[in-house]
Amino acid sequence: MRERAETSIEDPEASLERAFIEEYLQERGCSLSTIGTKPAAEQRLLLTQASQYALGRLAEIDARASYVHQIHDANQPKPRKH
Domain residue extents for the chain: 14-74
Report percent pLDDT > 70 for the chain.
87
> Residue 54 has what pLDDT?
97
Please give the average per-residue pLDDT across 68-82, as a whole number: 77
Please give the average per-residue pLDDT across 19-46, as a whole number: 97
- Is residue 51 within 8 Å of residue 24, measured between CB atoms? no
If one compares 67 and 10, the residue with the highest pLDDT of the two is: 67
pTM: 0.72
Q: How far is CA 63 from CA 23, 53, 59, 70, 71, in A?
A: 21, 15, 6, 11, 12
pLDDT tens-digit readout, 40-70: 999 999 999 999 999 999 999 999 988 888 8
